[in-house]
Amino acid sequence: MKRKIGLALLAIAILAWAVASGCTRMAGGAGGSAAQKTYVKPGEHDTHYAFLSGGHSGQVFVYGLPSCRYITTIPVFTPEPAKGYGYDEESKAMLGGFTWGDAHHPGLSETNGNFDGRWLFINDMPHARIARIDLKDFTTREIYGPIPNISAAHACPYPTPNTEYVFAASRFSAPVPTNKVAKVEDYVKDFKGVIAGIKVSSEGRMSMGFEILMPPFHWDLSDAGKGPSHGWQFFTCYNSEMAHDTLEVKASQAEMDYVAAVDWRAAQKAVDEGKADMIGGAPVLNPEKVKGIVYLVPTPKSPHGMDVNPTGEYICASGKLQAEVSVFSFKKLMAAIDAKKFEKEIMGVPVLAYDDVLEAKVPVGLGPLHTEFDGKGFAYTSLFLDSQVAKWKVGTWEVVDKIDVYYSIGHLSVAEGATMNPTGEYLLALDKLSKDRYLPVGPSHPEGAQLIDLRGNKMELLYDFPTYPEPHYGQIISASKIKPLKIYPLSENKNPHAIKSAEEARVERKGKRVDAYMVAVRTHFTPDVIRVAAGDTVYFHVTNLEQDIDITHGFGILNSNIDMQVEPGETKTVKWVATAAGITPFYCSNFCSALHQEMQGYLEVAAAGTRIAGVQRPPKKQVEEVAALLRRR
Ligand SMILES: [Cu+2]
């Protein structure tokens, strides 16, 4: 008995030593414990940015990897008071009256098939919009859409290898144009799917390229061809049964749904040659009349994920009701199209034979959803039902490793894994359910993300972190590729309402419209007393004259819905209506300095009809003080 206790103690001691020294983790890559592999010293930076979509929060969340530290939120489709987004006139106009969006798929801009660090595109699924975030300042600069004729853009935006296009496709088929009156019973006859190619200019501006009328299936996900398949865009779909109710049963009947392959150069050429019909304000191509722009490949069991491998040779479709990933060969696809070996046509779209295009079936496990790739010839597929990630070899098609994730993984993201040259060090598992992984906070649980090390032969779980709802997808880019501005140079401020000195600060009146040209400098607003009359509409144009790092000034008006944030060198405009006579204070809402609390002012609202000077200027002494302050910096 004594000997048994002695042995047990010895075993415990060995185990404790192993855990303490981290040697139980040595099986993974790069050596060291999971804690060491994610530790980034205070003051040091992470090596990667991860951009996670924020689902129905309408935002993008930025994390640093490998520390998994939350860095910032980029507001996109939803007002965000912390950044004053959706409150100033410019961003309010960009939101187009919507105060929510459902942001699904971040897509980093590419040059030659590699992330270039210029922009991040992301879709708002329900309103069929695409936003472009400039990565110079991590700010949303454009929201394109709602895209005509598209009822919810889920297969979106998936930029092409030189960011020539971003794409959108109808999640819900619906009558085209969308205001056409129809009955759901006439679904097959009157409802249509639509695929849209949205052009992106060299400055990032989006414009309508073409639309293609598709059979009324539910178009699901997309990926761009690359290398040999550059010029093609691929889409999965479900509900080829064309059911319009109880989809969970009726849309899962057929053995095969489809992958659509769109030749976007041919589609654009057809539009440029005048072969499109203008419908709902967009040039729409009908495959019954225009041939050679789109083909269908039968694909088993409601395929979801659509992922092209880094060489551009293989197109992987994950049938979510199947235990395999179907891998198609682009070479075989082209050969079948060239030979015109079509099985049939559906609403004018030629259908190829599954066996003619199939390269391999990879037995990954239950509920395969998405696949990304590393730079060593491996693929990683998320398994929703198994709550696992499967690692498999491209070419031999064998599954070489599996790892458990917690729980119910949706998308996954490999570092630069959607490009032609994945760096592939890390994988983020984006889990739909976190259940018991974090301190409980009541019935509404956070979602979960998990960092997995891909550097060794075996995948190794490094870190769990909760995320705000709801990362559908994320993209990971090397930090060295992004070079954000530190400030906005005042000399480059071309805002028509900008003023570059306190001497120019003034309040101008034309009838009931008042324009207040103000400057913000630690720790004054100039002017800080503004006289208006009830019934006036006041536009505050605030220029932050600071050129120091991290000196943001806010502009919040009491008892109003107004708060904006003005970065160093930037000018922003906000509109306020003086509804009643009285005194309304305003203040700097972003902590800026030791005397931040003193950074305030008053709006003096006189009774309606009071005569007020056409131009008000701040006191000369105040202007001189601000000028002296700026000279000292
Ligand atoms: Cu301030």
Structure tokens at 75: 């507001």
Instruction: Report d(CA 131, CA 120) in Å as an integer.
Output: 8
Cite the DSSP H helix spans in 313-436. Answer: 330-338, 354-357
CA of 73 to the centre of ligand 1 (A): 21
Looking at residue 29, its pLDDT comes to: 52
Q: What is the pLDDT of residues 382-419, one digit of tens each?
A: 999 999 999 999 999 999 999 999 999 999 999 999 99
Q: Which residues pair with 108 in a beta bridge?
A: 120
Residues linked to residue 429 through DSSP beta bridges, in sequence order: 412, 450
pLDDT of residue 24: 39
Ligand 1 centre to CA of 504 (Å) is: 20
- Edge-to-edge order in the sheet of strand 378-383: 368-373, 378-383, 388-393, 399-404
Residue 525 has phi, psi (to 5 degrees) of -100, 135
Q: Is 615 left (phi over 0), alpha (psi -120 to 50) or beta?
A: beta
| Distance in angstroms (rounded) separating the CA atoms of residues 335 and 329 | 10
CA dihedral 272, 275, 281, 282 (to 10 degrees): -70
Parallel, antiparallel or unpaired: strands 600-606 and 582-587 = antiparallel
Judge whether 554 and 525 are in contact, CB under 8 Å: no
Q: How many residues does the chain have?
A: 633
Q: CB-based burial of residue 229 (10 Å sphere; 0-12 exposed, 13-18 middle, 19+ buried)?
A: buried
Closest CA to 552 of 560, 564, 541: 564
Give residue-wise pLDDT tens across range 452-493.
999 999 999 999 999 998 889 999 999 999 999 999 999 999
Find the 562 Cα to ligand 1 centroid distance in Å. Answer: 16
Task: Tell me how many helices (H) and strands (E) the chain has.
Answer: 9, 42
Question: What integer pLDDT is reported at residue 469 of this predicted model?
Answer: 84
The whole-number pLDDT of residue 109 equals 98
Name 128's Cβ contacts closer than 8 Å, sequence gap at least 6.
145, 146, 147, 150, 151, 152, 153, 156, 168
Task: Quote the CA–CA distance of 185 and 183 in Å, as a whole number.
Answer: 5
> Distance, CA 548 to ligand 1 centroid (Å)?
13
Sign of CA dihedral 354, 360, 364, 368: negative
Residue 476's Cβ-count burial label (10 Å; 0-12, 13-18, 19+) is: buried
CA atoms within 13 A on the CB side of 13: 6
pLDDT value for 433: 92
Could you give the 3-state DSSP secondary structure of residue 498? Answer: coil
Q: What is 611-622 written as a DSSP string?
A: ---SEE---HHH
- Ligand 1 geometric centre to CA of 545 (Å): 11
In the predicted model, residues of the chain with pLDDT beneath 70 are 1-31
| 525 CA distance to ligand 1 middle (Å) | 8
Q: Are 604 and 582 in contact (CB under 8 A)?
A: no
Q: What is the pLDDT of residue 25?
A: 38
What is the distance in A from the centroid of ligand 1 to the CA of 573?
Answer: 16
Q: Which residues surround ligand 1, an ion (CB under 5 A)?
A: 553, 588, 592, 599
Ramachandran region, residue 433 (left: φ > 0; alpha: ψ -120 to 50; beta: rest): beta
**Do 564 and 542 contact (CB within 8 A), yes or no?**
yes
Tell me the three state secondary structure of residue 163. Answer: coil
**Residues 132, 134: Cα–Cα separation, whole Å:** 6
Neighbours of 274 (CB within 10 A): 7
How remote is the CA of residue 600 from the centroid of ligand 1, in Å? 9
CA–centroid distance, 77 to ligand 1, in Å, is 27
First to last CA, the chain: 79
d(CA 602, CA 199): 47
Q: How far is the CA of 46 from the centre of ligand 1 (A)?
A: 29
Scan for tokens 């199939």, then name that residue. 358
Joined together, the tokens standing for residue 319 give 């049938």
Going from the Cα of 596 to the center of ligand 1, the distance in angstroms, rounded, reads: 5
CA of 376 to the centre of ligand 1 (A): 50
pLDDT at 3: 52
Report, in this order, helix, strand and coil percent for the chain, each rounded to 5.
Answer: 15, 40, 45
Q: Which distant-in-sequence residues (6+ apart) come within 8 Å of 1 by Cβ?
A: none
CA 561 / ligand 1 centre spacing (Å): 19
Distance 630 CA to ligand 1 centre (A): 15
Give residue 61 CA to ligand 1 midpoint distance, Å.
26
Q: Ligand 1 centre from 590 Cα, in Å?
A: 6
Total Cβ atoms within 10 A of residue 458: 14
| Per-residue burial over 56-73, b = 16 or more CB atoms within 10 Å of its CB, e = otherwise | bbbbbbbbbbbbbeeeeb
